[in-house]
Amino acid sequence: MWYACFSCVVEPEPLPANDKAVGLDVGLYSFVTRSDGRGIANPRLFRKAQRRLRRAQRRVARREKFSKGWKKAVRLVAKIHRKVFNQRNDFQHKLTRKIVNNYGIIFVEDLNVKGLSRGLFAKSVHDAGWAAFFQKLSYKAASAGRWFLPVDARGTSQRCPCGAPNLKRLSDREHVCVSCGLVATRDHASAMEILRLGLSLQPLTAVQ
């Protein structure tokens, strides 16, 4: 099987002006939660393929190395990985296009994805593919004439958008603020705080 890859330089295609701003919180429960409260479910594509992948890997282990059956089993493992990769790419391309089409100013957390991918939830972080998602969002926003800005990720889940501290454990999924009365999911409150942080950087991020 042969593949051809083409790299093209194309002119940007700005979309009509749009001053709507959004904060995006990425997570493992919901893939993305917007500051308006809308959540996009995490497809967990690798986890869904794990059972099939384990069977294929056991088949590789049982075959004599470099035999015809071994090579066929190795190709099957590669095919499963390729399908997961393509599904993740398709999901992220569609989602980033929708976000860029609907918002003129997009704020996300400036996450150390590489560091997170070596932690306790490494497999889930790899499955989510946040780095690739941010990359797609960044270049599509640039091509469409949108503003894309990562903001400081420190404390976004430990503050209320009103500015009051709101400490939570990782297992706490609800945000309740005694200062302003806001009750929301943890991810929604974080997305609102990301939006607040981004807008606080105005006029640097204002659409001209």
Residue numbers annotated as active site: 25, 109, 187
DSSP the chain: -------------PPPP---EEEEEE-SSEEEEETTS-EEE---HHHHHHHHHHHHHHHHHHSPTTSHHHHHHHHHHHHHHHHHHHHHHHHHHHHHHHHHHH-SEEEEE---HHHHTTSTTHHHHHHHTHHHHHHHHHHHHHHHT-EEEEE--TTTTSB-TTS-B----TT--EEE-TTT--EEEHHHHHHHHHHHHHHTTTTTT---
Backbone angles phi, psi at 134, to 5 degrees: -65, -40
Q: Let me know: does 79 contact 55? Beta carbons within 8 Å.
A: no
